[in-house]
Structure 1
Amino acid sequence: MQDSQVDPATARQGVRRLGAPVAVAATIFTVCGFVAWADPTTPGGVIPVCPTKALLGINCPGCGSTRMLYSLLHLDIANALRYNAVGVAALVLLGAAYLTWTRGRLRGRKIRGWQHLPWAPAVALTVTVAWFVVRNIPFEPFTGLRV
């Protein structure tokens, strides 16, 4: 076989390896398209209010995430950070994890990323709980974190 020819079995294996990352990318693209269309920054729109906020009157750690994503899609970083700063950081980390996972799938072996570090789950849980508590403290400057 010449160097310029690709073995069909190798090509099929490469397509199988990329099946899951392509499915995840398609899902992300679909969700982003829906959020861009739905415009969660307009009250009374298609996307409902967070159940935690509606039922309990407090902000959950994810409150503002849809508006944050909408703002990021419109390259409005300041508003994205205002809606959910921890969510912006989480998206950066998830993007890095996705790229590491995809690169590992392409190479046919697992590549360790930040999410495989032994302390990563504890840090993620601690940051999430702290964000939940801090953004619900009922006096300034913490009330500025509410959305």
Structure 2
Amino acid sequence: MAIGTVAYLKVWIPLTGLSIPCPIHAATGLYCPGCGSTRSLSALLQLDLADAFRYNSLIYILLPLYGCYWLLQRKKKTKLAQGMLVAMLVLAISFGIIRNLPAFSHLAPPA
């Protein structure tokens, strides 16, 4: 899967200019919590950490939380793992709402 992702980001998009559009943004004009993730991962592959974080900061907040969730699952701490999962879901929904408010427009991915 990692090889396919890197090929998509480093070969397919630069050659064709075609990437997967966000259906939520296309239908509503609003940014979903995942908008900008493709550009963020592409910037990360080029080691441009500032742009990677600017395109979608949520994925870099969720990654460590997911790691904690995974560890809790492995240690059979089911209630804590479920709480972590709920926290990640609330965070993602909140981020999706907040990034569309004018006062937080800096959280929207740059065009």
Matches within 5 A, 1:57-136: 57-94=29-66, 96=67, 111-112=74-75, 117-136=81-100
Task: Tell which structure's C-alpha radius of gyration is larger.
Answer: 1
Percent identity among equivalent residues?
30
Q: Which stretches in structure 1 are left out of the alignment for 5+ residues?
A: 1-26, 101-109
RMSD of Structure 2 on Structure 1 (CA)? 2.9
- Ranked by relative contact order (alpha carbons within 8 Å, sequence separation 6 or more), the top structure is 2
* Residue 54 (str. 1) matches residue 26 (str. 2): yes
Higher helix share: 2
Q: Which stretches in structure 2 are left out of the alignment for 5+ residues?
A: none
Q: Which runs of 4+ in 1 moved over 3 A?
A: 91-94, 113-116
Post-superposition offset of 1:78? 0.5
TM (norm. structure 2) is: 0.78
Contact 1:52 1:60 in 2 (8 A): yes
Q: Cα–Cα, structure 1 residues 114 and 67, in superposed 2: closer, same or farther, change >3 Å?
A: farther
Q: Cα–Cα, structure 1 residues 86 and 134, in superposed 2: closer, same or farther, change >3 Å?
A: same
Contact 2:58 2:95 in 1 (8 A): yes
Q: Figure out how many residues of one structure are paired with residues of the other and give that number.
A: 107
TM (norm. structure 1) is: 0.61
- CA distances 1:18-57 after superposition (whole Å, capped 9, x unpaired): xxxxxxxxx12211221122347xxx82113211111110
Alpha-carbon distance between aligned partners in 2 of 1:93 and 1:37, rounded to the nearest angstrom:
30
Alpha-carbon distance between aligned partners in 1 of 2:21 and 2:62, rounded to the nearest angstrom:
21
Amino acid paired to 2:89: L
Contact 2:65 2:84 in 1 (8 A): no
